[in-house]
């Protein structure tokens, strides 16, 4: 019985130490439903689904507002379905921070119209409560492997 209690306490402490990162200043940490004020561009380029391989290489850029501890992130050349690209709010963004690593989850909203092509967009969003330091953003999207970028503020 003591082993079960110790295991439960250890799991609870681990959950507390893995801090859910908030995209908005006053939001509860529910990263799966947070949208981080996401907005995306129209299609930058597109490729028919019959074409094999990836599209334009993606990258990320950041702008830091130290006074508000706000990090404005742009994920360049995110690959999405062409039907998503024309929709306002067609991509949801959630983020979870674990120390100096911030996992970013970019997903097409369910119910988006689907087209027979893929397209690259620039997806922008804001992250709050970011102090000075070195961080790694790990982007989880439709790519087979997450893309990561490290930067120092």
Q: Domain coordinates of the chain in residue numbers?
A: 20-152
Nearest to 84 by CA among 105, 56, 115: 115
pLDDT tens for 42-58 read: 787 756 555 544 556 78
DSSP helix, strand, coil percent of the chain (3-state; round to 5): 15, 45, 40
**Percent of the chain, pLDDT > 70?**
65
Look-up: residue for tokens 């503020």?
A: 153
Q: What is the DSSP letter of 82?
A: H
Exposure on the CB side of residue 93, measured as CA atoms within 13 A: 28
Q: What's the rounded mean pLDDT across residues 6-35?
A: 39
Q: Using CA atoms, how far apart are residues 59 and 57, in angstroms rounded to an integer? A: 7
pLDDT at 7 over 50: no
pLDDT band at 20 (very low <50, low <70, confident <90, very high): very low
The pLDDT value recorded for residue 34 is: 52
Q: Using CA atoms, how far apart are residues 77 and 44, in angstroms rounded to an integer? A: 8
Residue 47's φ and ψ, nearest 5 degrees, are -140, 135
The pLDDT value recorded for residue 101 is: 94
pLDDT band at 24 (very low <50, low <70, confident <90, very high): very low
Look-up: residue for tokens 């119910």?
A: 111
């Amino acid at each position: 019985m003591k082993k079960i209690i110790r295991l439960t306490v250890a799991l609870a402490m681990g959950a507390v130490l893995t801090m859910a990162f908030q995209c908005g200043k006053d939001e509860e940490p529910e990263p799966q439903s947070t949208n981080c004020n996401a907005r995306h561009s129209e299609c930058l380029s597109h490729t028919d689904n019959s074409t094999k391989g990836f599209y334009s290489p993606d990258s990320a850029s950041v702008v830091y507002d130290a006074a508000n501890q706000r990090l404005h992130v742009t994920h360049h050349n995110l690959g999405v379905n062409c039907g998503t690209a024309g929709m306002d709010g067609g991509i949801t963004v959630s983020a979870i921070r674990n120390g100096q690593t911030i996992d970013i989850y970019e997903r097409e909203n369910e119910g988006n119209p689907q087209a027979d092509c893929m397209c690259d967009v620039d997806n922008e969003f804001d992250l709050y409560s970011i102090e000075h330091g070195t961080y790694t953003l790990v982007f989880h999207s439709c790519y087979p492997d997450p893309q990561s970028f490290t930067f120092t503020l």
